[in-house]
Amino acid sequence: MDKDLVSIQEVRDLVAAAKGASAALAAMEQRDLDRICAAVAAACAKESQRLAKLAVEETGFGVWQDKVLKNRLGSTMTWDSVKDMTCVGPLSEDKQRGLTEVGVPVGIVAALIPSTNPTSTTMYKSIIALKSGNAIIISPHPGAKGCIQETARIVREAAVAAGAPEGAVGCIQTITAEATSALMRHRDVGLILATGGEAMVRAAYSSGNPAIGVGPGNGPAYIERTADIPKAVARIFDSKTFDNGTICASEQSVVTERCIEAQVRAELTRQGGYFLNPEESRRLAAILMRPGGTMNPKIVGRTAREIAGMAGLAVPEGTRVLLSPQTEVCPQNPYAREKLCPVLAFYVEEDWQSACDRCIAILQNEGAGHTMAIHSRDDAVIREFSRKKPVSRLLVNTPAALGGVGATTALPPALTLGCGAVGGSATSDNITPMHLINIRRTARGIRELADLRGDAPAAQAPPPAAASAAPMAAGAGVTQEDVEQVVQAVLRRLAQQR
């Protein structure tokens, strides 16, 4: 049979099952949904190590020990952050203003899962979808379909055992581009939650269905002159080597100032950084991107020494990160682009204003709206960066990869990070269950049309003749206030006649 046709029919069947399940979920109380989510989180956490190893074996990306932490972030950390939320049913009531709000599920969430964070993203999206009363259909990346399908099975079985209806968690088994397209375009899909490459995110937004998509990251890390340099370098390297750089919030460039360049270089080298010379930089650049200008998947999630070997370079034992000194930012320069591996560009500027401009140029080259980091003890400079940078997350004195997803900051734990309008995204938030509901508002009338016009009710205006005759007959008892009231009544009646 034709694989494409089989996959499209499979999607139709999954959507049909999810449609019935979503109606059942929408009728549940929040406490019932919470019971389901708690069971899912516990089941995923229990399998976090096995699924982490499965992901690395299948994709070749990253470090399984780090993926265990990612799986915990996608399961128990996500659940802990959302368990007290009220997402469905009554949300708020303002009796004085006559306004109430009710959370309503969007129905069916189509969840596109990347190969870089396959198991953790499946867990995370399932929990936030079920928490908000939605059914979810998972579309795996073909390069990670086995570990994604296994994670989806664990989620589904735990959810059903806790009371979720059959069909509440679905996963495409026959992976084709046509199946993903059919899912995104299906009229019964309420929302697409797209995490992955730029082309896929654009396809989600052009599907005809509502979508939340995220673009590429390309965040610079600025080491300002007041920074604690050893701590700054340690945080950057911890971030860039975590799961070998596969989180899109991870640093892609280091920007620093001329006055501390020597100290920063020395510390980068001391902590395992290797500075490439011009020839080595040229040879490595040749393998970072494919001819069409997209990232070479062979470098994703590999160690610094593995990547150096691909380029035919010999680097010292213990090298953790490869650094290439750069002066140019443009689309053709791979060092000024997103590199999901332990490779960093290194820029030196004269002062913080020039560094600010450099960071903006890097972000506008790629990654606008996503994330950047600053290492500084100068609150005034930090405030200036927060005002001017085209990012949704400015992370201060923390590893960007872990800070962006909410592991080392107070941001909501999330593996889908909105990039805002500047990044082509529908939101700048870390995505939570509250992004997967509609809010139905009941609004009681609190004023009439006459109040808006400034008119008094017609029944209260006395007839002009009677109003004017009575004071005149009283003779000496007429006051200036009486006269003014009569005049105003006559003017209102004339206006109504016109």
Number of domains in the chain: 3
Residues near 217 by beta carbon (within 8 Å), at least 6 away in sequence:
248, 249, 250, 252, 338, 367, 370, 371, 404, 417
**CB–CB of 125/37 below 8 Å?**
no
Q: What does the buried/exposed string (b/e) look like for 251-272 if buried means 16 or more CB atoms within 10 Å of the residue's CB?
A: bbbbbbbeebeebbbebbeebb
The reply to whether 14 falls in a domain is yes
Domain limits at 73? 3-214+433-442
- 188 and 309, same structural domain? no
Q: How far apart are CA 484 and CA 74, in angstroms?
A: 73
Report the range out of 98-102, 451-455, 485-489 with the highest average pLDDT.
98-102
Question: What is the pLDDT, as a whole number, of residue 464?
Answer: 52
CATH number at 333 reads 3.40.309.10
Residue 467 has pLDDT above 50, yes or no: no
The reply to whether 416 falls in a domain is no
The reply to whether 422 falls in a domain is no
Task: Kindly report which listed range (162-166, 384-388, 478-482) carries the lowest average pLDDT score.
Answer: 478-482
The reply to whether 193 falls in a domain is yes
The reply to whether 420 falls in a domain is no
- 141 and 286, same structural domain? no
Longest dimension (CA), the chain: 114
- 459 and 438, same structural domain? no
- 260 and 203, same structural domain? no
Question: What is the pLDDT, as a whole number, of residue 468?
Answer: 42
The reply to whether 419 falls in a domain is no
- 253 and 195, same structural domain? no
CATH number at 65 reads 3.40.605.10
Task: Kindly report which listed range (27-31, 93-97, 256-260, 490-494) carries the lowest average pLDDT score.
Answer: 490-494
**CB–CB of 168/157 below 8 Å?**
no
- 81 and 55, same structural domain? yes
- 464 and 386, same structural domain? no
Residue 73 has pLDDT above 90, yes or no: yes
Question: What is the pLDDT, as a whole number, of residue 483?
Answer: 55
- 223 and 199, same structural domain? no
Mean pLDDT of the 153-167 span: 98
* pLDDT tens, residue by residue, 47-71: 999 999 999 999 999 999 999 999 9
The reply to whether 292 falls in a domain is yes
Q: How much of the chain, in percent, has pLDDT values that exceed 90?
A: 86
pLDDT band for 479, please (50, 70, 90 cuts): low
| Mean predicted lDDT score pLDDT of the chain | 93
- 194 and 319, same structural domain? no
Catalytic residues: 248
> Token pair for residue 146?
């086995």
- 397 and 362, same structural domain? yes
pLDDT band for 475, please (50, 70, 90 cuts): very low
* pLDDT tens, residue by residue, 430-445: 999 999 999 999 999 9
The reply to whether 187 falls in a domain is yes
- 230 and 362, same structural domain? yes
Q: What does the buried/exposed string (b/e) look like for 274-306 if buried means 16 or more CB atoms within 10 Å of the residue's CB?
A: bebeeebbeebbeebbeeeeebbeebbbbbbbe
Strands (E), 343-469: 343-349, 369-375, 391-396, 437-443
Residue type, 138: I
* pLDDT tens, residue by residue, 167-197: 999 999 999 999 999 999 999 999 999 987 7
- 201 and 224, same structural domain? no
Question: What is the pLDDT, as a whole number, of residue 476?
Answer: 46
